[in-house]
Amino acid sequence: MAIIMDGNRLSRDVRNHVTSEALRLKQNRGIVPGLAVILVGEDAASKIYVKRKESACKEVGFLSREFRLPHDTTQKKILQIIRELNHDQSIHGILVQLPLPGHINPDTVIETIDPRKDVDGFHPWNVGRLFSGDPYHIACTPRGIVEMIDRHGIEIEGKEAVIVGRSNIVGKPLALLLLNRHATVTICHSRTKNLSEVTKRADILIAAAGRPEMIKSGMIKDGAVVIDVGINRLDNGRLVGDVAFAEVAEKASHITPVPGGVGPMTIAMLLVNTLKAASL
Contacts to ligand NAD by CB under 6 A:
141, 164-167, 169-171, 188-190, 192, 195, 208-211, 214, 229-232, 262-263, 266
In the complex, the smallest distance separating the C-beta of residue 211 from ligand NAD, rounded to whole angstroms, is: 5
Asked if residue 142 lies in contact with residue 173, where contact means CB atoms within 8 angstroms, the answer is yes
* Catalytic residue numbers, as ranges: 53, 97, 120
- If the CB atoms of residues 74 and 196 are measured against ligand NAD, the closer one turns out to be 196
In the complex, the smallest distance separating the C-beta of residue 241 from ligand NAD, rounded to whole angstroms, is: 8
- If the CB atoms of residues 161 and 170 are measured against ligand NAD, the closer one turns out to be 170
Strand arrangement, sheet containing 204-207: 3-4, 254-255, 225-228, 204-207, 160-164, 184-188
- If the CB atoms of residues 64 and 199 are measured against ligand NAD, the closer one turns out to be 199
In the complex, the smallest distance separating the C-beta of residue 262 from ligand NAD, rounded to whole angstroms, is: 4
- If the CB atoms of residues 209 and 275 are measured against ligand NAD, the closer one turns out to be 209
In the complex, the smallest distance separating the C-beta of residue 77 from ligand NAD, rounded to whole angstroms, is: 26
